[in-house]
């Protein structure tokens, strides 16, 4: 039987951070060994359980991740790009796996993550849910089957506190559609329409972002042609689906070699 894995959660005061803490606490295969928040946050120095409004857990919230890596097997991180890069370098240096759910990372920022040659074992995905990763695969297959007579639009909706757009999941879906078509997303992406934009260019992949209320996450990929539309859809009604996916990814890292992986690897859906 696999040993219980020691886990560190970063950005622990946020909605995802607290959901991850609760998900780990409910798991028989994992336990929390560290909780990290940004410097100056009111939770730093406090017992995590008390900070969350419950009983003390014996885990103190720290601002320096190096303090908690000694007993850790994996770091789970849904924060911001700059923080994620720093956490990733610290994790790699300590021989600790890093599961990244941070969204809004540019290609340049992703390139700053430490490579496998530096001991980095990273699982990174714009969305950790099983359903979304199945949707990614379906999007790729449908895009490959349909020609440019079918316009592709990715429509996403999230709560009013989300700071990046398009969402990381929307970009995953756009990448899948572009790969299915055999094109580079950057060359065909249309992310902003305002005013007199002219007719839609053939072959482009459009994005639309909706922000409002407490929407957890909704993603549609529309293939629209003359006379018909095909829509692939995923709706997340509870943030726990992302926490459960992140925990699954964290548990999957046990015994894995350094490298950069994604949720398709975790779910056994990666094409060889």
Give the active site residues.
158, 162
Rg of the chain, C-alpha, whole Å:
20
Give Cα separations from 221 to 46, 52, 111, 232 (angstroms): 44, 37, 28, 5
- CA dist 64 and 94 (Å) reads 14
φ/ψ of 154, rounded to 5, equals: -110, 120
């Amino acid at each position: 039987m696999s040993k219980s894995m020691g886990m560190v959660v970063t950005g622990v005061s946020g909605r995802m951070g607290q959901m991850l803490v609760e998900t780990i606490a409910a798991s028989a295969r994992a336990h929390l060994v560290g909780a990290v928040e940004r410097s100056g946050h009111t939770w730093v120095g406090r017992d995590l359980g008390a900070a969350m409004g419950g009983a003390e857990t014996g885990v103190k919230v720290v601002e320096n991740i190096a303090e908690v890596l000694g007993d850790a097997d994996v770091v789970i991180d849904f924060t911001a790009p700059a923080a994620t890069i720093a956490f990733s370098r610290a994790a790699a240096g300590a021989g600790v796996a890093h599961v990244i759910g941070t969204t809004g990372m540019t290609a340049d920022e992703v390139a700053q993550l430490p490579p496998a040659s530096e001991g980095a074992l990273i699982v990174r995905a714009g969305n950790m849910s099983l359903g979304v990763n199945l949707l990614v695969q379906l999007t790729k297959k449908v895009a490959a089957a349909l020609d440019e007579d079918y316009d592709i639009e990715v429509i996403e909706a999230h709560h009013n506190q989300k700071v990046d757009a398009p969402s990381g999941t929307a970009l995953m879906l756009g990448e899948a559609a572009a790969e299915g078509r055999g094109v580079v997303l950057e060359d065909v992406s249309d992310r902003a329409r305002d005013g007199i934009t002219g007719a839609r260019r053939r072959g482009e992949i459009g994005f639309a972002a909706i922000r409002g209320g407490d929407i957890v996450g909704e993603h549609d990929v529309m293939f629209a042609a003359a006379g018909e539309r095909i829509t692939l859809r995923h709706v997340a009604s509870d943030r726990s689906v992302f926490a459960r996916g992140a925990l699954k990814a964290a548990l999957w890292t046990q015994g894995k070699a350094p490298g950069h992986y994604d949720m398709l690897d975790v779910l056994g859906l990666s094409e060889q």
